[in-house]
Amino acid sequence: MTTPPSPPAPGAPQSLGVTLVITELVRPARVAEYEAWARELHGRLGQQPGFLGLHVLRGESGGLPEYVTLVRFATPGALAAWRESAAYRAALARLPEFTAGEVEYRESEGLEAWFDRPARPTPAPPLWKNVLVGFVGVYPLILLFTWLSRPLTQGWPWWAAILPSAFLATLFLNWPVLPLLSRLLRGWLYPRR
């Protein structure tokens, strides 16, 4: 049993959260059953302390349906508690019925999980590329939402006037903007050697 992490000391940097990235190749004949199994498992996540949300990316790899599930938790301790829970272990016992190979699990912190990795093993893009893609995604969103919220925020203090655009830009950056940009810029983020 893992002990939960102690709260950070005052002034210490706060965790950006942690994402469990699960990549599964599913047998074509079992897709409907797999999706029903996944919906049931995802429904249980809502009751798990520290769960922040999930997103499923569907695709194809080597002619097989591929599912990449991003499960986001507030802290590494919350993720560890989920992975050790009876509900998760029971669900995992059924997973081999649906999959056509080894399931890949990867944990990442912050926004790194949104940068879609290619199927071949490769290192993560350099930090400067991640920062540049994030900037390309967030700047137009900030401009748009600042312009749209201007009638609502006129007369507010400057620090309060940026809250609506900061919130909306963060929301749209996480989905759909970063997943879309990471697909469009895949060749640049993960160049062939």
pLDDT, one tens digit per residue, over 110-145 is: 555 455 554 445 566 788 888 898 899 999 999 999
- Please provide the average confidence, as pLDDT, over all residues in the chain: 81
Question: Percent of the chain, pLDDT > 90?
Answer: 35
pLDDT at 14: 43
Confidence of residue 108 (pLDDT cuts 50, 70, 90): confident
Q: Sign (positive/negative) of CA torsion 17, 49, 79, 72?
A: negative
Task: State residue 192's pLDDT score.
Answer: 63
pLDDT at 103: 87
pLDDT grade, residue 164 (50/70/90)?
A: very high
Q: Give the per-residue pLDDT at 104.
A: 87
pLDDT per position as a tens digit, 15-48: 457 888 899 999 999 999 999 999 999 999 888 9
Alpha carbons 189 and 193: distance in angstroms, whole number: 12
What is the domain partition of the chain in residue ranges? 18-110, 127-189
CA atoms of 189 and 182, how far apart (whole Å): 8
When computed from its CA atoms, the radius of gyration of the chain, rounded to whole angstroms, is 19
User: Which CATH topology does 18-110 take?
Assistant: Alpha-Beta Plaits (3.30.70)
